[in-house]
């Protein structure tokens, strides 16, 4: 099956972009991030898309960005944290080398906190994280060929773990 060498999924702030760039360097391939594709297409930051156009519009742009990237990008691909909520996206990922980067809720709140560009966490980040993770963990697990914990690991170590696991 042609397509990305590695696809990274997992919650926001887990390090998909940092780890993805390291992995791409090691594999000598390009790195692509569907959030960046959506931002480029919309001509404004993610937070502005949510505020001006609403989450459903963002999700439609995201589904399209994921489909295009999965079909055309041969390197490392990082998906936005909520991309797996789309059944269409989960179906596209079937049989592909997908790694789920995992982290604990406490760690997530420490790392991401009230980060403004992440509008889903604007109110009560700890509770939001719990709800998001309860809803999404089964979806990340469903698409993942490898589940890779990130707690206490450097991005380089996580990249090693992914290469070992896939
Ligand atoms: C989101 C995660 C973000 C971005 C948007 C929504 C989510 O991506 O797509 O803010 O629903 O978890 P990252 O996981 O790349 O931060």
Distance from residue 101's CA to the centre of ligand 1 (Å)? 14
Say what the pTM is: 0.93
Q: Determine, yes or no, domain membership for 72.
A: yes
Residue 118 CA: distances (Å) to CA of 11, 48, 51, 112, 123: 11, 10, 11, 8, 11
Q: What is the span of the domain harbouring residue 102?
A: 6-165
Ligand 1 atom nearest 119 alpha carbon: 10
pLDDT, tens only, 115-155: 544 566 666 667 777 888 889 999 999 999 999 999 989 99
Residue 81 belongs to a domain with what CATH number? 3.40.50.300
Q: Determine, yes or no, domain membership for 155.
A: yes
Domain total of the chain: 1
Q: Which pLDDT score, from 0 to 100, does residue 116 have?
A: 45
**The pair of three-digit structure tokens given for residue 127, joined into one six-digit string:** 């509770």
Ligand 1 pocket residue status of 118, Cβ below 6 Å: yes
pLDDT band (50, 70, 90) for residue 46: very high
pLDDT, tens only, 63-118: 999 999 999 999 999 999 999 999 999 999 999 999 999 988 778 777 766 554 45
Q: Which pLDDT score, from 0 to 100, does residue 23 have?
A: 98
Ligand 1 atom nearest 16 alpha carbon: 15
Q: Determine, yes or no, domain membership for 1.
A: no
122/129 Cα distance (integer angstroms): 11
Distance from residue 136's CA to the centre of ligand 1 (Å)? 12
């Amino acid at each position: 099956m042609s397509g990305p060498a590695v696809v990274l999924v997992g919650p926001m702030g887990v390090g998909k972009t940092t780890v993805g760039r390291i992995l791409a360097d090691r594999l000598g391939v390009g790195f692509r991030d569907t959030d960046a594709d959506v931002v480029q297409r919309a001509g404004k930051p993610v937070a502005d898309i949510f505020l001006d156009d609403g989450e459903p519009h963002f999700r439609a742009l995201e589904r399209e960005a994921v489909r295009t990237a999965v079909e055309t990008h041969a390197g490392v691909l990082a998906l936005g944290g909520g991309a797996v909520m789309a059944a269409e996206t989960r179906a596209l990922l079937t049989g592909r080398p997908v790694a789920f980067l995992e982290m604990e809720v406490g760690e997530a709140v420490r790392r991401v906190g009230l980060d403004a560009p992440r509008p889903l966490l604007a109110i009560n980040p700890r509770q939001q994280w719990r709800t998001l993770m309860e809803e999404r963990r089964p979806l990340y697990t469903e698409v993942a060929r490898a589940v890779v914990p990130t707690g206490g690991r450097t991005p380089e170590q996580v990249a090693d773990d992914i290469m070992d696991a896939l």
